[in-house]
């Protein structure tokens, strides 16, 4: 793809998916994928009903009155996109190819992550790990991801979802939210999926075309 054409396509994807991210995913993303950790915020005087386990004994002794620690939820997440780049994505009979749908879904999730001030990373996989993009923040990083989604050419054609899930489990140490975006034309990935989901929050997004299950009526 020529540079000018690529930049135009990136811009089109950005405009379309940023609108979807703002209008559709904003509230649901924040509530569904909020951070899990707790970080210290401040101390205040003890009030009836406060958890006594949160009493700050040093401050309490200093002022001769009970004070409790106040914590707030850590909002920052790491979001990982596991993108199937095998040859089956180059199929489509309903308006667009599956790879175009994958690109748009991934872009919406990426912009949603950035709006939530989260890090976003990508694993491109076929029957091996084709490319790993380290989780980072920022618009520049998002546009780099979109360019890769549009222009990336894999070395291999077949699919091994289990390999991608094993890589996720080993490569990302901190708990993250991971979206596996694939047509799932593969077998024997159930066990790696269970293991990955014990460590991370794994969401499977299946992309399909109706012609994969329905033959058109074309006569004899």
Both tokens of 24, joined, read: 């559709």
205 forms beta bridges with 181
The per-residue pLDDT for 108 is 83
Residues 124 and 208 both lie in one domain: yes
Q: ∠ CA 98-209-160 to the nearest 5 degrees?
A: 60
| C-beta separation of 107 from 13 below 8 A | yes
What pLDDT was estimated at residue 39?
Answer: 59
Residue 93 has pLDDT above 70, yes or no: no
Rank 15-19, 40-44, 65-69, 212-216 by mean pLDDT and report only the highest.
65-69
Asked whether residue 190 falls in the same domain as residue 158, the answer is yes
- Give 179's pLDDT tier (boundaries 50, 70, 90): very high
Based on the fold, state whether residues 61 and 152 are members of the same structural domain.
no
Residue 28 has pLDDT above 70, yes or no: no
Token pair of 136, please?
Answer: 């980072």
Residue 127 phi, psi (nearest 5) = -95, 10
* Same domain, yes or no: 140 and 118: yes
Q: Are residues 153 and 51 in the same domain?
A: no
* Helices 98-115, 3-20: inter-axial angle, 10-degree rounding: 60
How confident is the model over 50-70, as pLDDT tens digits? 888 889 999 999 999 999 988
pLDDT band at 117 (very low <50, low <70, confident <90, very high): confident
Q: Integer distance in angstroms from the first to the last C-alpha of the chain?
A: 39
Q: Say which DSSP state 52 is in.
A: G
Mean pLDDT calculated for residue range 156-184: 94
For residues 61 and 113, state if they share a domain: no
Of 91 and 147, which is predicted with more confidence? 147
Residue 138 scores a pLDDT above 90: no
DSSP tag of 34: -
| CA pair distance 39, 45, nearest whole angstrom | 18
Q: Are 206 and 161 in contact (CB under 8 A)?
A: no
For position 13, what pLDDT does the model report? 67
Mark whether 10 and 118 lie in a shared domain: yes
The Cβ-side half-sphere exposure at 16, using a 13 Å CA radius, reads 14
> Taking residues 112-134, what's their average pLDDT?
91
According to the per-residue pLDDT averaged within each range, which of 61-65, 162-166, 209-213 is highest? 162-166
Q: Can you give the CATH number for the domain in which 9 is found?
A: 3.40.50.410
pTM given for the model: 0.71
Q: Residue 97: inside a domain, yes or no?
A: yes
Based on the fold, state whether residues 64 and 82 are members of the same structural domain: no
Share of the chain above pLDDT 70, in %: 73
pLDDT band at 1 (very low <50, low <70, confident <90, very high): low
Instruction: Give yes or no: residues 190 and 107 share one domain.
Output: yes
Domain that holds residue 172: 3-29+76-212
Q: Same domain, yes or no, for 66 and 125?
A: no
Q: Both 47 and 84 in a single domain?
A: no
| pLDDT over threshold 60, residue 27 | no
């Amino acid at each position: 793809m020529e540079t000018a054409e690529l930049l135009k396509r990136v811009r089109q994807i950005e405009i379309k998916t940023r609108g979807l991210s703002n209008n559709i995913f904003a509230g649901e993303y924040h509530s569904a994928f909020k951070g899990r950790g707790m970080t210290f915020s401040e101390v205040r005087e003890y009030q009836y009903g406060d958890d006594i386990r949160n009493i700050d004994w040093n401050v309490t002794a200093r002022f001769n009155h009970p004070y409790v620690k106040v914590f707030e939820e850590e909002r920052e997440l790491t979001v990982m996109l596991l993108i199937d780049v095998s040859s089956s994505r180059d199929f489509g009979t309903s308006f667009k190819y599956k790879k175009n749908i994958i690109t748009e879904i991934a872009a919406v999730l990426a912009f949603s992550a950035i709006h939530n001030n989260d890090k976003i990373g990508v694993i491109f996989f076929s029957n091996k790990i084709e490319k790993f993009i380290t989780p980072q923040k920022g618009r520049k990083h998002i546009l780099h991801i979109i360019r890769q989604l549009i222009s990336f050419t894999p070395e291999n054609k077949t699919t091994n979802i289990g390999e991608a899930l094993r890589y996720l489990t080993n490569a990302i140490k901190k708990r993250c939210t991971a979206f596996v975006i694939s047509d799932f034309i593969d077998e024997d990935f159930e066990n790696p999926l269970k293991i990955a989901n014990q460590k991370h929050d794994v969401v499977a997004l299946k992309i399909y075309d109706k012609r994969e299950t329905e033959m058109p009526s074309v006569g004899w």
